[in-house]
């Protein structure tokens, strides 16, 4: 019985952790934008298998990173401007 209770609790924790990452396609575009602005940085899913860290501005990136705008699928838009992603700068051109 104890084993069953422990397994149930572990599976419930795993389900909660999986649901913790918001799915952009389940939210309206304005909800996506407000979430990123309010949180500063959010790991967000775009489809069941794709996700990225979306940030509001450069404060959430390392100094060696640049901001690239990201457009995500939302419930009411196929290309909602969600914010930015931090990407390593290419210093090979210097």
54 pLDDT above the threshold of 80: yes
Determine what percent of the chain is predicted with pLDDT higher than 70. 76
Determine what percent of the chain is predicted with pLDDT higher than 90. 72
Q: Say if residues 22 and 45 touch (Cβ distance below 8 Å).
A: yes
Average pLDDT, the chain: 84
3-state secondary structure of 1: coil
CA 19 from chain centre, in angstroms, equals 12
Specify the length of the chain in residues. Answer: 94
Predicted confidence band at 5 (pLDDT cuts at 50, 70, 90)? Answer: very low
- Give 11's contacts (C-beta < 8 A, 6+ positions apart): none
pLDDT (tens digit, 9 = 90+) per residue, 32-53? 999 999 999 999 999 999 999 9
For residue 92, the model assigns a pLDDT of 65
- 0.75 cut: is pTM over it? no
Strand 77-88 versus strand 65-74 pairing type: antiparallel
DSSP H or E segment with residue 86:
strand 77-88
Strand 41-47 versus strand 77-88 pairing type: unpaired
CA distance 32 to 13: 25
């Amino acid at each position: 019985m104890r084993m069953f209770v422990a397994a149930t609790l572990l599976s419930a924790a795993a389900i909660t952790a999986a649901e913790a990452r918001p799915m952009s396609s389940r939210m309206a575009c304005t909800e996506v934008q407000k979430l990123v602005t309010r949180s500063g940085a959010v790991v967000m899913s775009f489809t069941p298998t794709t996700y990225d860290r979306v940030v509001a501005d450069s404060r959430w990136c390392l100094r060696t990173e640049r901001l690239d705008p990201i457009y995500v699928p939302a419930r009411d838009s196929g290309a909602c401007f969600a914010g930015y992603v931090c990407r390593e700068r290419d210093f090979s051109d210097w």
